Amino acid sequence: MNKNLIAKSVAIAAGLLFLITAPGLARALNDKPAAVQARNATLVPGAQPKKDSSPQDDFDGLNYTDEQRAEINKIHRETESNKSAVVNDEKLTSDQKNAMLLGYTRMEYGRMFRTLSTEQQRKVRKRILARRAADQQVAQRKQPPQPRSIEK
């Protein structure tokens, strides 16, 4: 029973740690603070709807060296292993699993970003900024118009 309590505490602490460190990744990728919303993560069913673009799309089309390709494959395998362990952990609640899965996804993208050359990092940053701008435009179109106040 004591082991279960310790395991639960560690899992909760790890999930919170991932959520706390995620904004730091956004600053590293964007060079300015921004709200990060990792999409296209392997979440527990019903957690979040999928969007058209994802952070993974930001890395598509880059010409990787053999060393970069090997490192990115290693990162992806390690992340998938960690994610499957979380999904199969019956001690965690759905919210805890989602938090940990998002954390692993953010860590994966951060590690992948660090393997890129300076020029590749610039390209990824531009794609991130373009995707966020497009997402903001879509969000603005979905907002209902604000009623105008009549001044006397």
Domain range summary for the chain, segments of one domain joined by +: 1-35+64-126
Q: Please, which residues have CB within 8 angstroms of residue 4's CB and are 6 or more apart in sequence?
A: 91
Mean pLDDT to the nearest integer, 95-120: 94
Most confident option among 14-23, 29-38, 111-120: 111-120
The share of the chain scoring above pLDDT 90, in percent, equals 45
pLDDT at 144 over 60: yes
pLDDT category of residue 42 using cuts at 50, 70 and 90: very low
Q: Pick 10 or 130 by higher pLDDT.
A: 130
Residue of 128, 109, 100 lying closest to 20 (CA atoms): 100
pLDDT at 93: 93
pLDDT at 150 over 90: no
What per-residue confidence (pLDDT) applies to 1?
Answer: 57
Task: Determine the average pLDDT of the residues in 68-78.
Answer: 95
pTM (2 d.p.)? 0.57
Q: What is the mean pLDDT of residues 30-51?
A: 39
Query: If phi over 0 gives left and psi between -120 and 50 gives alpha, with beta otherwise, what is residue 90?
Result: alpha
Would you say 59 and 71 are in contact if contact means Cβ atoms under 8 Å apart?
no
Cβ–Cβ < 8 Å for 39, 50: yes
Give the confidence band of 19 by pLDDT, cuts at 50, 70, 90: low
- Check residue 35 and give its pLDDT: 32
